[in-house]
Amino acid sequence: MAPTKNRAVLDWIADMAAMTQPDQMVWIDGSQEQIDALRAQACATGELEKLNEELLPDCYLHRTAVNDVARVEDRTFICSRREEDAGPTNHWMAPDEMYAKLRRLYTGAMKGRTMYIIPYSMGVVGSPFAQYGIELTDSIYVVLNMCIMTRVGNAVLEALGDSPDYVKGLHAKADLDPENRYIVHFPEDNTIMSVNSGYGGNVLLGKKCFALRIASYLGRKQGWMAEHMLILGVQNPAGEVRYLAAAFPSACGKTNLAMLIPPEHYRKAGWKVWCVGDDIAWIRVGEDGRLWAMNPENGFFGVAPGTNEKSNPNALHTTQRGTIFTNVVHNLDNNTVWWEGLDKNPPEHAVDWKGNPWNGKTSSEKGAHPNSRFTAPARNCPCISPEFENPHGVPLSAIVFGGRRARTAPLVYQARDWEHGVFVGSIMASETTAAAAGAVGVVRRDPMAMLPFCGYHMGDYWQHWLDMEQCTDAAKLPKIFNVNWFRTDDEGHFLWPGFGDNLRVLEWIMKRCFDEVDADETPLGYEPRPEDIDLEDSGVDLETLRGLLSVDRDLWLEDVAAIRSFYAKFGDKLPPVLAQELDALEARLK
């Protein structure tokens, strides 16, 4: 018996079931009893392996197919009715053509399988931010992950009521055929379809698919923003908590910043940092004219390799209960997990991420996949914000952009105003590291860290950012900053210690937002006076800091030329304001 009478929901489910032909259908109610039964079922079929209950209570291990280990950008489509609405940074196909292609792949794809119906909420159920979705899937792994990452169950159906306003999501593992793997968004139809994958980023449809690609489209239509940003609160010794949202491309320390642990002398003085979100921020104009941000997720889908007691103890501690580990090493000696960078003691008796026997002491092969993951409940995080469940979110004082630049960008600078800040976000870039495929040091533009996640034309997206200034009380807009933790010396050594020491920069940022400190004007924007950054016990001297804040005009003029060619991609959709900002930057540099 269906737990809802909503015709828009029931008719769509009936259509999808007629196409995919499952043997049975199960509604996910969100109860612990049902979750426990599904876990037991997945362990019986080998889809999950139960880990050591004493050391890792309620934790499980999963392995994906070897050909299915990451998001597939070349198989991810935005199928708007007009190609120009998808823009030059998205793959596009005409909706009718794509629906026909998918119908062939979905027909009979769930024969012999169960269709699970997952009603879920992005955001606290009933909150002004909340958006509802229903994902149909034939994977217990997806169900259990969605129960961690989102708020799942009958409360969602009650909040939705009779409304047809929900995001439809269909996922079928089918044959896991990489040649027929598609992750497709139909923004005008509020629909997401995923087939032939079992990897989280492609199949947990609440994650990037809904929370960014569909939500960015909805936000533009409805006057809010969906951003690829962490949200954190910085509590000063006076007990005030000030909030910022920050966007970084991958491999730039986003999760580490979201769960930052203050340096010792800051801790002793009473500073604290609170994590509101590690990946996604939905931002709305509050009744007070300020921008308020909420994390629409309920868990963390983090990269395991490199996570350890030193790099990110809060993330590590978050994984120690109720977590699903994917594509990591199974340590057979104590039935726990291991990955590269966890510690210096790889297990001798183990199974690698492909399911093969593995001896970490002698093997030259990596045991865990470089993109292996943990799905962990946010409530486990030792520094989770007391405001995490606040239905109204938190008020933003600052928005921070960042990238990985060896020479160009200084440690920190502040944009002159909102329009200049949007420009700073639009030119965000990172240099490739050895971890990324291809040449090292190649500059990749990733505006607002949204290049793979914007559900419509990026030129329109920038215009939406610019338009937000008109929706708010301009005096209350967050100040916009750019940071770069990755400046190096001539030998390639990092000049800034990073990690917890980044709080030294965040302190200055927050003081700027509240007019508590002055700044020096440079061609880029406003920079700290070196003596205004607290360097106590940092290992950084004033001279090094001056170097970190220096602006190399010649390098920046080269960058201006590169930005011009990047902007050219967007044709007449490039907001004129951004072209003017680029001209003004060039003039200041000269």
In this predicted structure, the answer to whether residue 55 has a pLDDT above a threshold of 60 is: yes
CATH fold group of domain 227-298+386-589: Phosphoenolpyruvate Carboxykinase; domain 3 (3.90.228)
For 559-578, what is each residue's pLDDT tens digit?
999 999 999 999 999 999 99
In this predicted structure, the answer to whether residue 585 has a pLDDT above a threshold of 80 is: yes
Which pLDDT belongs to residue 439?
A: 67
From 144, 491, 461, 484, select the one nearest 324 (Cα to Cα).
144
Give the residue range(s) of CATH 2.170.8.10 domains in the chain. Answer: 299-380
Number of other residues whose CB lies within 10 A of the CB of residue 535: 15
In this predicted structure, the answer to whether residue 435 has a pLDDT above a threshold of 90 is: no
Mean predicted confidence (pLDDT) in 418-443: 82
Long-range CB contacts (< 8 A, 24+ apart) of 178-183?
178/67, 178/68, 178/72, 180/105, 181/68, 181/72, 181/75, 182/75, 182/77, 182/98, 182/101, 182/102, 182/105, 183/71, 183/72, 183/75, 183/76, 183/77, 183/209
Active site residue 513: no
Are the CB atoms for 427 and 405 separated by under 8 Å? no
For 369-404, what is each residue's pLDDT tens digit?
999 999 999 999 999 999 999 999 999 999 999 999
Q: Roughly what angle, to the nearest 10 degrees, separates helices 418-426 and 458-471?
A: 160
554 SS3 class:
helix
For 302-353, what is each residue's pLDDT tens digit?
999 999 999 999 999 999 999 999 999 999 999 999 999 999 999 999 999 9
Long-range CB contacts (< 8 A, 24+ apart) of 441-450?
441/406, 443/559, 443/562, 444/249, 445/563, 445/566, 446/249, 446/403, 448/227, 448/228, 448/247, 448/401, 449/228, 449/229, 449/247, 449/248, 449/249, 449/401, 450/212, 450/216, 450/227, 450/228, 450/247
Predicted confidence band of residue 580 (pLDDT cuts 50, 70, 90): very high
Which residues, other chains included, contact 220 with Cβ-Cβ below 8 Å and sequence gap of 6+?
Answer: 456, 460, 461, 464
Which pLDDT belongs to residue 239?
A: 98
Q: What is the mean pLDDT of the chain?
A: 97
Domain 7-46+72-223 top-level CATH class: alpha beta
Q: Is 501 annotated as a binding residue?
A: yes
Mean predicted confidence (pLDDT) in 546-555: 97
Are the CB atoms for 375 and 324 separated by under 8 Å? yes
**Residue 95 backbone dihedrals phi, psi, to 5 degrees:** -55, -45
Which pLDDT belongs to residue 433?
A: 65
Q: Which residue has the tokens 């169950």?
A: 153
Q: Is 255 annotated as a binding residue?
A: yes
For 109-168, what is each residue's pLDDT tens digit?
999 999 999 999 999 999 999 999 999 999 999 999 999 999 999 999 999 999 999 999
Residue 560 CA from chain centroid, whole number: 28
Q: Which helix (H) or strand (E) holds 120?
A: strand 114-122
Mean predicted confidence (pLDDT) in 423-448: 82
Q: Architecture of 299-380 per CATH?
A: Beta Complex (2.170)
Among 59, 147, 209, 252, the one annotated catalytic: 252
Q: Is 373 annotated as a binding residue?
A: yes
Mean predicted confidence (pLDDT) in 455-484: 96
In this predicted structure, the answer to whether residue 437 has a pLDDT above a threshold of 90 is: no
**Residue 179 backbone dihedrals phi, psi, to 5 degrees:** -75, -20
Which pLDDT belongs to residue 432?
A: 75
Are the CB atoms for 421 and 428 separated by under 8 Å? no
Q: To the nearest whole percent, how much of the chain has pLDDT over 70? A: 99
Q: Is 325 annotated as a binding residue?
A: no
Which pLDDT belongs to residue 436?
A: 44
Distances (CA, A) of 530 to 75, 461, 542, 553: 47, 35, 7, 20
Q: Is 198 annotated as a binding residue?
A: no
Q: Is 426 annotated as a binding residue?
A: no
In this predicted structure, the answer to whether residue 438 has a pLDDT above a threshold of 90 is: no
Q: Is 199 annotated as a binding residue?
A: yes
* pTM across the whole model: 0.97
Task: Give me 425's structure tokens.
Answer: 């976000």
CA distance 477 to 471: 10
Mean predicted confidence (pLDDT) in 352-360: 98
Give the residue range(s) of CATH 3.90.228.20 domains in the chain. Answer: 227-298+386-589
Question: Bridge partners of 242?
Answer: 234
Give the residue range(s) of CATH 3.40.449.10 domains in the chain. Answer: 7-46+72-223
Q: Is 372 annotated as a binding residue?
A: yes
Mean predicted confidence (pLDDT) in 409-422: 98
